[in-house]
């Protein structure tokens, strides 16, 4: 896996160090994974031994899906990895209703960096955030992950225009790539996803990985509370007392439904 520490034995007779074989892999300490997009249920590990997760989304082409962002943040939290949002393509202009939705994130401890890879905006801030750390950039295809990395590192990575037809963007990045930089910095580029599906999380623990809901879960009467309509639910109480944003609660319910549905289908 990209990020794994391995012991390599150089192949005999080769003196330029270009050939070798992996003889052992060190125990993987942290990693982030999601459910594979297609086929049988399987874990897809993006990268190992990283320090933080940059969740990259765009203003439009393709427009940010907050459900996917929330699932991604949940995956990072459950892997004990700090995460932040990189909102790219700000040159396209942020609609007012998006600003309102975005305002939730700083309140729950998620930093929002606004960038434009093409208009050179917010790149110094992003650079600072990446310095001295191993960061995986993940997000849907076409949001500008490779473009941002090219700009930050001053290298050329292949990018592709987002197709006008479906605004989905093509998968130009086909492999996970670890780009080392100075001062212990590494930036990991990944292929985009269509939809971030969670892996390995139990329906009962989902709320635990949302920082604004997790503090309320302890108040629930039942240990296996799913916070839908159970009596004595701490999350519902917090919602009615306006301590939880209704949009985040709705997002939680959407995530819960998708996890329950997948669980049913995988059975
Ligand atoms: N308008 C605008 N387009 C961008 C920006 N960043 C990247 N793009 C374009 O979005 C498309 C997809 O970029 P790419 O880096 O391949 O996205 P990736 O799939 O996330 O790696 C390319 O046509 C880029 O030129 C940006 O900040 N603003
Ligand atoms: Mg790419
Ligand atoms: Zn509850």
Q: What residue ranges line ligand 1, CB within 6 angstroms? A: 88-89, 91-92, 116-118, 141-147, 159-162, 169, 172-173, 192
The reported pTM is 0.91
Domains 27-189 and 203-266 alike in fold: no
The structure tokens 């995460």 sit at 83
Question: How far is the C-alpha of 31 from the C-alpha of 4, rounded, in Å?
Answer: 9
What pLDDT is recorded for position 165? 42
What pLDDT is recorded for position 159? 64
Question: How far is the C-alpha of 139 from the C-alpha of 122, rounded, in Å?
Answer: 18
Q: Find which of 103-107, 153-157, 262-266 is predicted with most confidence, using mean pLDDT.
A: 103-107
Average pLDDT over residues 95-111: 96
Closest by CA to 146, choosing from 183, 172, 181, 122, is 172
Tokens of 168: 């989905």
What pLDDT is recorded for position 37? 75
Q: Is the pLDDT of residue 15 over 70?
A: no
Q: Is the pLDDT of residue 160 over 80?
A: no
What pLDDT is recorded for position 114? 98
By the 10 Å C-beta count (0-12 exposed, 13-18 middle, 19+ buried), 203 is classed as: middle
Each residue's pLDDT tens digit, 196-245: 999 999 999 999 999 999 999 999 999 999 999 999 999 999 999 999 99
Tokens of 262: 């997948």
Listed in sequence order, the residues at least 6 apart from 96 whose beta carbon sits closer than 8 Å to its beta carbon are none
Terminal-to-terminal C-alpha distance of the chain? 28
Atom of ligand 1 nearest to the CA of 149: 15
Cα of 137 vs centre of ligand 1, distance in Å, is 13
Q: Is the pLDDT of residue 267 over 50?
A: yes
Phi then psi dihedrals of residue 9, to 5 deg: -105, 120
Tokens of 104: 């939730």
Each residue's pLDDT tens digit, 109-144: 999 999 999 999 999 999 999 999 999 999 999 999
- The CATH fold assigned to 27-189 is Rossmann fold (3.40.50)
Domain ranges (residues) in the chain = 27-189, 203-266
- Residue 154 — pLDDT band, cuts 50, 70, 90? confident
- Residue 164 — pLDDT band, cuts 50, 70, 90? very low
Cα of 136 vs centre of ligand 2, distance in Å, is 12
Each residue's pLDDT tens digit, 19-51: 888 999 999 999 999 998 777 889 999 999 999
Atom of ligand 1 nearest to the CA of 159: 16
Beta sheet of 112-114, edge-to-edge order: 112-114, 83-88, 52-58, 134-138, 186-189, 177-180
Best residue among 57, 144, 146, 160 to mutate for probing ligand 1, ranked by most atoms within 8 Å of CB: 144
Grouping H, G, I as helix, E, B as strand and the rest as coil, residue 199 is: coil
Its CATH architecture, for the domain 203-266, is Orthogonal Bundle (1.10)
Phi then psi dihedrals of residue 168, to 5 deg: -90, -25
């Amino acid at each position: 896996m990209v990020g794994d520490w391995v012991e390599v034995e150089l192949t005999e007779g080769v003196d330029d160090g270009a050939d070798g074989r992996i003889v052992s892999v060190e125990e993987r300490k942290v990693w982030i994974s999601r459910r594979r997009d297609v086929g049988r249920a399987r874990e897809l590990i993006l990268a190992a031994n990283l320090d933080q997760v940059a969740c990259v989304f765009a203003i439009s082409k393709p427009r940010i899906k907050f459900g996917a962002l929330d699932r991604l943040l949940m995956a990072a939290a459950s892997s004990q990895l700090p995460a932040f949002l990189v909102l790219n393509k700000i040159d396209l202009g942020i609609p007012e209703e998006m600003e309102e939705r975005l305002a939730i994130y700083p309140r729950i401890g998620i930093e929002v960096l606004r960038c434009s890879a093409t208009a050179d905006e917010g790149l110094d801030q992003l650079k600072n955030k990446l310095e001295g750390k191993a960061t995986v950039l993940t997000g849907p295809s076409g949001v500008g992950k490779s473009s941002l990395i090219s700009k930050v590192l001053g290298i050329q990575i292949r990018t592709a225009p987002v197709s006008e037809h479906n605004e989905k963007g093509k998968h130009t990045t086909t492999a996970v790539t670890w780009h080392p930089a100075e001062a212990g910095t590494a930036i990991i580029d990944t292929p985009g996803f269509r939809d971030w599906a969670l892996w390995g999380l139990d329906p009962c623990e989902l709320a635990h990985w949302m920082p604004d809901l997790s503090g309320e879960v302890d108040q629930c009467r039942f240990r296996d509370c799913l916070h839908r309509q159970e009596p004595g639910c701490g999350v519902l109480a917090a919602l009615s007392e306006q301590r939880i944003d209704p949009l985040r609660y709705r997002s939680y319910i959407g995530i819960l439904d998708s996890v329950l549905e997948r669980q049913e289908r995988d059975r």
